[in-house]
Structure 1
């Protein structure tokens, strides 16, 4: 059982702004905004940009990622990165366990306090990667997600869509740029780290299945999803995201 004190501590770790100053929240109710997308789509960058924009507009916000931000989540992240988990069903259970802890310890307490939560990957990542990508039955994942998040549902899911062939080129380009600035010892260590990314190193067939899964989900839930072309420049992607998020905020503003 997660205590109220633990939940308060978790919120202090992730709440923006970081200067400790309180600010008026323009929303009465916290919103749950999730980011989805394949490898190299720029999710993490856009999550950070959005939460900073929200804070500047008077929306108290936190940014969390899956798996992570709780002791269980960080342990699951280590297991997944170590490639020691080979069974897709086992992966699914681990992601759902980490998600259950994150929802109870961080997301739900934040929303209850009127804090908007930005999540870098949520339930749809498991559906896309383990379901469409690795063949875990979708009804099994749906059942686990229902148990994991109960009535919690994103107010908006932003899908950063990009062709896997293009995203692979982007990833390789970024790797080469980063490696070029390092000495040989650091370069070797960094290269091993890049090569250890479990999902970036999956087959192109896998990445296309993941993308198709995302697009299928987005087209089935158009009212709560926004598809943004991640092939555009970082600033243009951010502008597109903000336009959609602002519409959501305007419908929930305090009087």
Structure 2
């Protein structure tokens, strides 16, 4: 059945499971013959690579330098992946978008809103659906500690609390809040069902 391509974004603080969930959602959509591409930001562009080096503690960046890199990487993402994909009748399932930049780089809720408007003013395409995998900073910290690995720039619980509060302030009213404490299969199936509704493939 033909359908118009749509743009689905997954957001959440570190440890909420958005990367795992978004990848599984993309895989299930493919099994249902729904053409889609899984994509993430930061990208693998030169700007995205610098961002990842910063997140991993390999280089230092001022807040202004961080924001500049995120905007440059997003322009690359939009022009090289997002717009071409949507124009090719292929859905996009994306791990992080400009809501992440606003939440993470915003000093407080007001500054986060300013960063959001900065992205919107650049004319970046709006997603059809935003899924926020809702998990408290305390629970997210537990998950990150359990899975191990190297600490990243925003791993501190105080930072994650700031980010969580910024998210709540800037996410659009239409955002679908998903209980990230639920069973993984349940979370994935919920998102898939909602995407099928959005594509008018399920009533």
Q: Say yes or no: does 1:163 pair with 2:136.
A: yes
Stretches of structure 2 lacking an aligned partner (at least 5 in a row): none
- State the aligned residue count: 202
- Counterpart Cα distance in 2 of 1:141 and 1:173: 32
Maintained 8 Å contact 2:36/2:93: yes
Maintained 8 Å contact 2:137/2:160: yes
Stretches of structure 1 lacking an aligned partner (at least 5 in a row): 1-25, 176-190
Cα drift, residue 167 of structure 1: 1.2
Cα drift, residue 83 of structure 1: 4.9
Question: What is the RMSD of the two structures over their aligned residues, measured on CA atoms?
Answer: 2.3
- Counterpart Cα distance in 2 of 1:139 and 1:55: 35
- Counterpart Cα distance in 1 of 2:65 and 2:147: 31
Q: Say yes or no: does 1:152 pair with 2:152.
A: no
Higher-Rg structure is: 1
Pairing partner for 1:137 from 106, 111, 134: 111
Aligned to 2:102: 127
The structure in which a higher percent of residues are helix is 1
Cα drift, residue 112 of structure 1: 0.5
Aligned to 2:160: 207
**Against the structure 1 CA distance between its residues 217 and 144, is the aligned structure 2 distance closer, same or farther, given a 3 Å change threshold?**
closer
Cα drift, residue 222 of structure 1: 3.0
Aligned to 1:42: 17
Aligned to 2:195: 245
> Which runs of structure 1 show a deviation greater than 6 angstroms over 4 or more consecutive aligned residues?
none
What is the TM-score when the length of structure 1 is the normalising length? 0.72
Return the structure number with greater relative CO, CA threshold 8 A, min gap 6. Answer: 2
